[in-house]
Amino acid sequence: MKRIGFTSGSFDPVTNGHMDVIARAARMVDTLVIGIGVHPGKSPLFSTEEKIEMLKAETAAIAKKSGGKIEITTFANLTVDAAHAVGATLIFRGLRDGTDFDYEMQMAGMNGAMAPGVDTVFLPASPQVRHITATLVRQIALMGGDVSDFVSAGVARRLKAKAAKSKQ
């Protein structure tokens, strides 16, 4: 039986924290599906297509190293429904702190009630990325700050270009 896992987020932008969770989750399954949440009420910095491009570039080496497959999809429904739709039996969630834990425990309980065959696996953030949030990275980049400790060089270049464009 192939093990399919699902991890989701807005990935606006893809951070080293996201990559920490993705790399560790990819080692536990045959296929990891990364779901980009698309919410019509939000105004993301990056388009869905740009997020897909970033994730493909950032995850290629991880897929090769883990020996598994990494797929990228989008969804606009409940995470648990998106996971179920791709055949995932595991949802991977990264935890930075106690606040994340409290929220994610509630979500895991609700998801378990709605889809008993889909389990949630919590992955504590590695110490070196525990403080990173996409929101803060976005804010720092848009204000001209250096985000090179929080994202890959490729993502940093994309953020710099977005910041320059927003100042025009």
H-helix or E-strand containing 1?
none
Task: Dump pLDDT digits (tens) for 108-151.
Answer: 999 999 999 999 999 999 999 999 999 999 999 999 999 999 99
Burial class (CB in 10 A: 0-12, 13-18, 19+), 104: middle
Q: Which CATH architecture has domain 4-130?
A: 3-Layer(aba) Sandwich (3.40)
Measure CA 55 to chain center: 9
DSSP string, 7-51: EEE--SS--HHHHHHHHHHHTT-SEEEEEEE--TT---SS-HHHH
Q: How much is the pTM? A: 0.94
Cis link prior to 127 (omega < 30° from 0)? no
What's the confidence (pLDDT) of residue 114?
95
Task: Label the pairing between strands 4-9 and 119-124.
Answer: unpaired
7-58 pLDDT, tens per residue? 999 999 999 999 999 999 999 999 999 999 998 878 899 999 999 999 999 9
pLDDT on residue 26: 97
Mean pLDDT over residues 88-101, rounded? 95
Report the pLDDT averaged over residues 157-163.
93
Length of the chain (residues) = 168
In angstroms, what CA-CA distances link 12 with 40, 53, 119, 137, 141? 14, 12, 26, 9, 12
Q: What is the predicted pLDDT for the residue at 40?
A: 80
pLDDT score of 164 more than 90: no
Domain coordinates in residue numbering, the chain = 4-130
Residue 32 to residue 25: CA distance in whole angstroms: 7
